[in-house]
């Protein structure tokens, strides 16, 4: 069985910020970090989750964004070092979140530092959002990574795939029908996935695209909670799974963070079967326990007449 870990929203501790860096939307984000978020996203909680993940030795790791908070240059450098600790670029697939594009910043000194983790198979690292989706084949799985990360006005945490990326996504998905197609996206695309100021703006178009081309599993972050949703398709409901923040302290308002371990195997009745183990950070931060365990199934492909 192919096993991969899904983690999201680590929101690494905010390094020292220069005053001039705060003369923008960053000021609201900095205040939010200083007075609220730094008590939620704890480095020792994150370390507990990552240690447990390493011990579990998955075949691959998928990260659905929000490594940063307010997109300062120091945050991108810190995140690049954290990614190197997490694993080799070929073993870790990353898509960005809204906090990784908090304000307009030059690509080369921001997400560009994470390029090797966002490069598709045989492709150069993305040079902008225009190079998404990324595609990586690992075992029986095709990971298709979308970028929803765009700078927005203060207090707005919405995201967008955009028509051009969505067209590339549909074309890509059509060529991958023999593999288990796992879509990675920071913002939840299902109906009711997020409130107005946090939602995926073009969620309806994304759902319609998925209904047209199908998908086996959609994984998202952004909400800092384990969430299960669905997207209707002609072949049946596509499961949509959201993961808790990997750094949420067990005493935080979100409860214990962690990551999901997902086993993939062919379903004898057609399609794919997913064994999902929610790994939750222990109260004493000594590692993780299994907080929940359940199975999901992909839509079953129509039998050719
Ligand atoms: Fe987010």
- Tell me the CA–centroid distance for residue 98 and ligand 1, in Å: 5
- Tell me the CA–centroid distance for residue 105 and ligand 1, in Å: 17
Give residue for tokens 């600790």.
85
Q: What angle (nearest 5°) sits at the alpha carbon of residue 257, between those of residues 251 and 254? A: 55
Q: How far apart are CA 237 and CA 203, in angstroms?
A: 16
Q: How far apart are CA 3 and CA 160, in angstroms?
A: 29
Q: Residue 302: its pLDDT value, please? A: 59
Q: Is 146 exposed, middle or buried (0-12, 13-18, 19+ CB in 10 A)?
A: buried
- Assign a CATH topology to domain 2-14+29-297: Purple Acid Phosphatase; chain A, domain 2 (3.60.21)
- Tell me the CA–centroid distance for residue 230 and ligand 1, in Å: 20
- Tell me the CA–centroid distance for residue 269 and ligand 1, in Å: 36
- Tell me the CA–centroid distance for residue 152 and ligand 1, in Å: 12
- The β-bridge partners of 245 are none
Positive or negative torsion for Cα 198, 202, 207, 209: negative
Q: Residue 19: its pLDDT value, please? A: 82
Which residues line ion ligand 1, judged by CB < 5 Å?
Answer: 66, 97-98, 222
Q: Residue 269: its pLDDT value, please? A: 86
Rounded to two decimals, what is the model's pTM?
Answer: 0.96
Q: Residue 304: its pLDDT value, please? A: 45
- Tell me the CA–centroid distance for residue 184 and ligand 1, in Å: 13
- Tell me the CA–centroid distance for residue 41 and ligand 1, in Å: 13
236: phi > 0 → left, psi -120 to 50 → alpha, else beta; which?
Answer: left
Could you read off the pLDDT tens digit of each residue along the chain, which spans 305 residues? 999 999 999 999 989 888 888 878 899 888 888 888 888 989 999 999 999 999 999 999 999 999 999 999 999 999 999 999 999 999 999 999 999 999 999 999 999 999 999 999 999 999 999 999 999 999 999 999 999 999 998 889 999 999 999 999 999 999 998 999 999 999 999 999 999 999 999 999 999 999 999 999 999 999 999 999 999 999 999 999 999 999 999 999 999 999 999 999 999 988 999 999 999 999 999 999 999 999 999 998 655 44
- Tell me the CA–centroid distance for residue 148 and ligand 1, in Å: 10
In the chain, domain spans: 2-14+29-297
Copy the structure tokens of residue 304. Answer: 């050719």
Positive or negative torsion for Cα 196, 162, 133, 267: positive
């Amino acid at each position: 069985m192919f096993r991969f870990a899904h983690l999201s929203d680590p929101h690494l501790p905010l390094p020292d910020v220069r005053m001039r860096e705060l003369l923008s939307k960053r000021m609201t984000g900095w205040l939010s970090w200083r007075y609220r978020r730094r008590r939620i996203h704890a480095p020792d909680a994150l370390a507990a989750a990552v240690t447990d993940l390493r011990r579990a030795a998955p075949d691959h790791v998928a990260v659905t964004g929000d490594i940063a908070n307010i997109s300062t240059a120091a945050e991108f450098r810190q995140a690049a070092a954290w990614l190197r600790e997490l694993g080799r670029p070929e073993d870790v697939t990353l898509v960005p979140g809204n906090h990784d594009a908090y304000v307009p910043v030059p690509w080369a000194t921001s997400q560009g530092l994470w390029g090797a983790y966002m490069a598709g198979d045989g492709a150069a690292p993305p040079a902008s959002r225009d190079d998404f989706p990324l595609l990586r084949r690992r075992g029986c799985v095709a990971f298709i990574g979308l970028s929803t990360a765009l700078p927005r006005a203060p207090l707005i945490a919405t995201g967008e795939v955009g028509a051009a990326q969505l067209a590339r996504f549909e074309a890509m998905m059509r060529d991958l029908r023999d593999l288990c197609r796992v879509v990675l996206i920071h913002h939840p695309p299902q109906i009711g996935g997020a409130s107005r100021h946090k939602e995926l703006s073009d969620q309806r178009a994304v759902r319609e695209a998925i209904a047209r081309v199908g998908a086996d599993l959609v994984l998202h972050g952004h909400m800092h909670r384990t969430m299960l949703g669905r997207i209707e398709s002609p072949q049946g409901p596509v499961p949509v799974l959201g993961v808790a923040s990997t750094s949420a302290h067990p005493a935080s308002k979100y409860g214990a963070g962690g990551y999901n371990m997902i086993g993939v195997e062919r379903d004898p009745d057609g399609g794919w079967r997913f064994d999902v183990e929610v790994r939750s950070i222990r109260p004493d931060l000594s590692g993780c326990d299994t907080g929940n365990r359940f199975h999901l199934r992909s839509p079953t492909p129509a039998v050719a007449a």
